Structure 1
Amino acid sequence: MIYRSTLLLLVIFAGPVGADVQQARTQVDADNLAAARATLEQQLRSQPDDQSVRFLLARVLAWQGETAAAIPLLEQLSRETPGNADYLLALGQAQLWDGQVHAAIATLEAAAFIAPDYPDIDNAMRQARMALSAPSNRITLSQRSARRRHELEVSLRQDWLDSGFDNWRRQRLDYFSTQAEGIAWYGALLREQRFGEWDEGVEAGAVFTLDQNWSLQPEIGYQFSPFFLPDWYADLRLQRSLAKGFLAAASLRRTEYATSRVERIGLTAERYWDAWRGSYTLNVSDVSNAGTPVGHNASLDYYYAGLSYAGLRLTTGEEEAIEGSQLFTSSVRAMGLQGRHWFEPDWALSWELGHHEQGDYYTRRWLQIGLRHAF
């Protein structure tokens, strides 16, 4: 992990280091965490007040995914030495991996006040803020342990249309895989019914952390024998973390239909403060034979109880739409509410409802329910 070498150097300067701690450090470097833990626990029995032993043991416990055991050790160290930014950094990381996102942000803000130019604190704060940005259509970068985390969600959606149009239905199975300081990837299987026809397809994407500020997210989708969905699409998103909770992103997307094509650029600004996230996106599209629609999306999310959230979505402007196999451009106004509630540590209920006006063509109302399991 990228923090280990830095934090092991901190242990060196925390005080005199015995042979057993040196041995444990060598075992950590060799990624033998079980042996390092045994060495440190044995050393702690003879030197219970040695801060360097307790600090390294807490870090090993966190790296093993046992954050519930690591956090009390790091809290005690922080109380004993209130001005130690390294202890606060390690505590904030453990809280983040444990899913205590709001507590992690508060701890990391205290660390940043003590050491404002500490790059590892900035990096951990970026991860915590990314953990708060958990909209349903983007990968969640939060971690509840240092090990890889997997999530599956099955969801059902029903859309009711007026103006004589048939109602729509959608079924999805989504998979997410994330790991602290590692590559995240995700995919989905989907079935959707419109105009009396069923389309089936797949989606896949990944999130690559380029450095402490930049991340890259490619995504693709493919439909097997589409009637109304596109043949395929490809999306590439580049995101930059900024100061004071701001994020900026740009995305390029190409969507290919049987008889048309849509190319879109999206520019996004986000801001995170306390338990809130606000976002605005400007979308400019080029629709072959159907104009150049410009759309605006805004969102506001409130996070509670870790990663549970509820949010508002607003859309206005113009966008492309499809009737049968015919693509057209029209004005659009939409409002939606969505959220995810973790009622157990590994189980969550996702929900979404909304109202969508597609110019003078139709009005659509929808409800979506999903069940998510983390393992």
Structure 2
Amino acid sequence: MSWLRALVLALPVVCTPSLAHADIAAAQRQVEAQQLDAAETTLIAHLAAQPDDREAQFLLARVRAWQGRPEQALPLYERLLQQEPDNADYLFGQGQALLWAGRPQTALVSLERAATLAPDYTEVKQVIQQARAALTSPVTGTTPVTAAPAQRRHELELSTRQDWLDSGFDNWRSQRLDYTSTQPEGLGWYGALLREQRFGEWDEGVEAGAVIPLATNWTLQPEVGFQPSSYFLPKWHADLRLQRRLPAGFLGAASVRRTEYDSTRVDRLALSGERYWGAWRAGYTLNITDVANAGTPVGHDLALDYFYNGLSYAGLRLTVGEEESVEEQRVITSDVHAISLQGRHWFARRWALGWEIGHHRQGDYYTRRWLQIGLRHAF
């Protein structure tokens, strides 16, 4: 009977792997049936018996994130990554949970590492685009139906700018206080207080706008601005932009804008396209402007941005064509050539430095050079 006793002792060892597999298979079926609470219960019971089962830990982390509790998923991802720091799936899951928890900058650290380890991981690239867009556009890429929306993010930026002009024109100065509130897949809004000095006069004004998700991949962005006692700035402007997210990292948009000055009215149609790939973004905008009693200038704007260390970026801007400008309460149209470098560097989790330098030639009227510095705080 010794053989029978040996068989009885061996049965738990033989059966445990198959039972463990059965538990995980059952949890996966419950996930597919959208029974997330039941899947969580199954996995918790399984891990009570086998706490080191990484497959079960990984599935439980995803289930908790899908339930709208990404913060509870993060300790599981941290434990998994301590054991396998180069696992692209774990890094992807951690990055996605961080994004849904409203921490896009931190999410990009994990996501970009996953992209380095697995360059062909398509889902990682998609979520990287979502995280980069989270600070600038409330509507990002497609999120699983079971995922909870990320927390709302607010930002304030105080900036100052100095422009140096030649040809006998006085230099310009300006200050801005900008506020933005964004949430992936949700409504966003922004506003600004501004004051500018030109020709020895100061103008002050306000701006406000919103980004409204209409449907999957579509957003509408209205914006208005008002200067109560304008000298060189417009009395008011109104802008309406319609944007469509396209496959393969492309984005298209069209906007119409009316700007009202004391002496004239300016209408503009802007057609733009963008492409995101890897750590890069490229954009082109065609501006067709109708200046009342002064012709129809056409301009072209080009942009190229490189993202690094999460949401930090450096970019190049080029402008050629014709453009309207206000000189001593008079709107003029002239050839324009401009180039600028700009960027935003996040030196801490919630603090960033914005900067821009540029050179602008306004036909034969003047050449303008500028420097802008801003301090941004996220909360």
Q: Specify if TM > 0.5.
A: yes
Q: TM-score range by the shorter chain?
A: 0.7 to 0.9
Q: Contact 1:157/1:369 (CA < 8 Å) preserved in 2?
A: yes
Residue identity opposite 1:128 in structure 2: I
Q: CA-atom RMSD, angstroms?
A: 4.0
Equivalent residue number for residue 338 of structure 2: 334
Matches within 5 A, 1:26-105: 44-46=47-49, 48=51, 49=53, 51=55, 55-58=59-62, 60=64, 63-64=68-69, 66=71, 69=75, 71-72=77-78, 90-94=93-97, 96=99, 97-99=103-105, 100-101=107-108, 103-104=110-111
Matches within 5 A, 1:1-375: 15-17=25-27, 25=36, 44-46=47-49, 48=51, 49=53, 51=55, 55-58=59-62, 60=64, 63-64=68-69, 66=71, 69=75, 71-72=77-78, 90-94=93-97, 96=99, 97-99=103-105, 100-101=107-108, 103-104=110-111, 128-129=128-129, 131-132=131-132, 139=137, 146-375=150-379
Percent identical across equivalent pairs?
55
Distance apart, 1:203 and its partner CA: 1.1
Residue identity opposite 1:335 in structure 2: I
Distance apart, 1:334 and its partner CA: 0.4
* Local SS of the residue matching 2:25: coil
Residue identity opposite 2:25 in structure 1: G
The TM-score, its normalising length taken from structure 1, stands at: 0.77
Residue identity opposite 2:339 in structure 1: M
Residue identity opposite 1:93 in structure 2: Q
Distance apart, 1:281 and its partner CA: 0.6
Taking the aligned partners of 1:267 and 1:165, their CA distance within structure 2 comes to: 33
Q: Structure 1, unaligned stretches of length 5 or more? A: 1-12, 29-35
Residue identity opposite 1:175 in structure 2: Y
Taking the aligned partners of 1:130 and 1:319, their CA distance within structure 2 comes to: 34
Taking the aligned partners of 2:360 and 2:65, their CA distance within structure 1 comes to: 49
Equivalent residue number for residue 13 of structure 2: none
* Local SS of the residue matching 2:170: coil
Residue identity opposite 1:72 in structure 2: E
Q: How many residues align?
A: 342
Change (3 A) 1:127 1:51: closer
Q: Contact 2:340/2:359 (CA < 8 Å) preserved in 1?
A: yes
Moved more, 242-251 or 169-178: 242-251
Change (3 A) 1:361 1:79: closer
For residues 81-131 of structure 1, the C-alpha deviation after alignment (integer angstroms, 9 at most, x for no partner) is 99x8xx8874452354442437537858999978x8xxxx5xx86563254
* Local SS of the residue matching 2:215: coil
Q: Contact 2:268/2:288 (CA < 8 Å) preserved in 1?
A: yes
Taking the aligned partners of 1:185 and 1:70, their CA distance within structure 2 comes to: 34
Q: Contact 1:126/1:212 (CA < 8 Å) preserved in 2?
A: no
Q: Which runs of 4+ in 1 moved over 6 A?
A: 39-43, 76-82, 108-114, 140-143
Taking the aligned partners of 2:339 and 2:133, their CA distance within structure 1 comes to: 19
* Local SS of the residue matching 2:26: coil
The TM-score, its normalising length taken from structure 2, stands at: 0.76
Q: Contact 2:92/2:111 (CA < 8 Å) preserved in 1?
A: no
Residue identity opposite 2:97 in structure 1: A
Q: Contact 2:361/2:368 (CA < 8 Å) preserved in 1?
A: yes
Distance apart, 1:71 and its partner CA: 3.9
Taking the aligned partners of 2:197 and 2:63, their CA distance within structure 1 comes to: 50
Q: Contact 2:267/2:291 (CA < 8 Å) preserved in 1?
A: yes
Taking the aligned partners of 1:148 and 1:272, their CA distance within structure 2 comes to: 24
Moved more, 89-98 or 348-357: 89-98
Change (3 A) 1:275 1:318: same
Equivalent residue number for residue 11 of structure 2: none
Change (3 A) 1:255 1:80: closer
Taking the aligned partners of 1:369 and 1:111, their CA distance within structure 2 comes to: 37
Equivalent residue number for residue 8 of structure 1: none
Taking the aligned partners of 2:43 and 2:227, their CA distance within structure 1 comes to: 54
Q: Contact 2:92/2:110 (CA < 8 Å) preserved in 1?
A: no
Higher alpha-carbon Rg? 2
Q: Structure 2, unaligned stretches of length 5 or more? A: 1-22, 142-148
Moved more, 287-296 or 248-257: 248-257
Q: Contact 2:138/2:187 (CA < 8 Å) preserved in 1?
A: no
Taking the aligned partners of 2:245 and 2:117, their CA distance within structure 1 comes to: 19
* Local SS of the residue matching 1:55: helix
Q: Contact 2:240/2:257 (CA < 8 Å) preserved in 1?
A: yes
* Local SS of the residue matching 1:331: strand
Q: Contact 1:279/1:298 (CA < 8 Å) preserved in 2?
A: yes
Taking the aligned partners of 1:248 and 1:105, their CA distance within structure 2 comes to: 25
Taking the aligned partners of 1:70 and 1:225, their CA distance within structure 2 comes to: 58
Residue identity opposite 2:343 in structure 1: G
Distance apart, 1:196 and its partner CA: 1.0
Distance apart, 1:273 and its partner CA: 1.6
Distance apart, 1:323 and its partner CA: 0.8
Residue identity opposite 2:129 in structure 1: R
Q: Contact 1:126/1:241 (CA < 8 Å) preserved in 2?
A: no
Change (3 A) 1:335 1:81: closer
